[in-house]
Chains A and B, each alone.
Chain A
Amino acid sequence: MSRVVTLKIDDRDVSGRDDETVLEVARENGIDMPTLCQVDGLSSVGACRLCLVEVKGVPKLLPACTTYVTEGMEVWTSTERINRYRRQIVELLFSEGNHICAVCVSNGHCELQNLAIRLGIQHIDYPYRYPKATVDASHERFGFDGNRCVLCTRCVRVCDEIEGAHTWDVKGRGINSQVITDLDQPWGESPTCTSCGKCVNICPTGALFEKGKSVAEMTKRGEFLPYLTTMRGKKQR
């Protein structure tokens, strides 16, 4: 059973349940911070590090989405140090892939683009990598463009946790990581994919898209997710 705890976020006294994360309690209290891999309705993995916060007595920064609140905790969500790291993280995401916004299906509806705006990023200081990435257009209705993937693993989690198909996974390590379908087979030949489109709609960038969409035409509909999670939870009881 969960207990109510009291803590300080950005010098404000707040309360939450001890089974809630710092991110949840902060947002309940109107304190927002940028996130990318986290999405309501899926498990949190702390992969993108954008929600890093400072916690009193802890020398390293902790991701708010996977850190649970405790009694007497003191958290800061927007210090100069944190904001500098957040800008660096988003700049690194831009430099790691081939994000050519002007010709992207998600131009104007992209969470990576929105993060750049929110953090005031108007150029990328890191050298671009220009990786050789693959495009998989073998699926009848959807496409995957690895140039635009930020490895948030939302597709992997929604396919596994909500659809129950586990078509998506990650191969490789570090900078060589890539999302794959099944055992790195063409998506169109996947025996597990149900073509439900959840991965496409939860993808924050134009990496997963519906075929037939041109530049700036791909709008995502992710609202279904918290709703699905809630309804399933109720059914199981």
Chain B
Amino acid sequence: MTKKRVATVWLDGCSGCHMSFLDIDHRLLDLADAIDLVYSPLVDFKDFPDDVDVTLVEGAISSEEDLEKIQRIRSKTKVLVSLGDCAVTGNVPSLRNPVGVGPILQRVYLDEHPLGAAPDQVVPKLLPAVRPVHSVVQVDVYVPGCPPSADTIFHVVSELVAGRIPDLTDRTRFGA
């Protein structure tokens, strides 16, 4: 059996979903036999490769860099999974949306701390609003949860590796 090519990406999230992924513990060894982890914050590949079977996306789309990344990832991925509430709903990063980019940078960099000015180079430019992944590219599987439990993630990955779309009824929810 050829191994499935699996990637994970970390956009605007707290890494909690990746921590929950690692929490599947010894079952990682079973997964390691079935998948090639071709791109991830957990491994050291610099560029997102071609022909990826499954990509798990943690985090919302918050910056121009997130947007550019997710479009490239989508074009190279067969099954795209929104992993966790930030990817699925915008979640905590989207708390800034009713406030707006200008006022929030003003508050953080000028009002609260004497940092001089909001950065305008090196760090990616923020989008006017934080958005869930499916509002900018097509998403194939939604896994809500903050974070989804290790059991949920193991179920999702196992099903996808077996070529099935996972049924998440009663397994997870918003805020789980």
Contact = CB atoms under 8 A, between A and B. Distances in A.
A-B interaction = yes
Interface of A: 94, 98-104, 107-108, 113, 116-117, 120, 122-125, 127-128, 130-133, 147
Contacts of B90: 128
Interface stretch (B37-45, B48-56, B66-74, B166-174): B166-174
B98 A132 contact: yes
Given A123-B134, A124-B89, A130 B146 contact: no
Contacts of B59: none
Given A101-B146, A102-B146, A130-B98, A123 B139 contact: yes
B124 interface: no
Ranked 7 nearest A-B pairs via Cβ: A101-B175, A102-B146, A130-B97, A101-B174, A123-B142, A122-B142, A107-B175
A219 to B, nearest CB: 15
B95 A100 contact: yes
B100 to A, nearest CB: 9
Contact of B174 (A98, A116, A125, A127): A116
B153 interface: no
B99 to A, nearest CB: 8
A127 B175 contact: no
A36 to B, nearest CB: 16
A113 B173 contact: yes
Interface string B77-97: 000001001001111101101
Contacts of A123: 82, 88-89, 132, 134, 139, 142, 144
A130 B94 contact: yes
Interface centre among A102, A103, A117, A147 (most CB of B within 10 A): A102
Interface residues on B, range: 20 to 34
Contacts of B34: none
Interface of B: 82, 85, 88-92, 94-95, 97-98, 129, 131-132, 134-135, 139, 142-144, 146, 168-170, 172-175
A82 B75 CA distance: 37
A232 to B, nearest CB: 37
B144 A133 contact: no
Given A116-B173, A132-B98, 13 more contacts: A99-B174, A101-B173, A101-B175, A104-B175, A108-B175, A113-B174, A122-B168, A123-B82, A123-B89, A123-B142, A128-B94, A128-B97, A133-B98
A122 B85 contact: no
16 contacts: A98-B97, A100-B92, A102-B174, A103-B92, A113-B174, A113-B175, A117-B170, A122-B172, A123-B88, A123-B142, A124-B89, A127-B135, A130-B94, A130-B97, A130-B98, A131-B98
A66 B70 CA distance: 47
Contacts of B139: 123
Contacts of A122: 88, 142-144, 168, 172
A223 B81 CA distance: 41
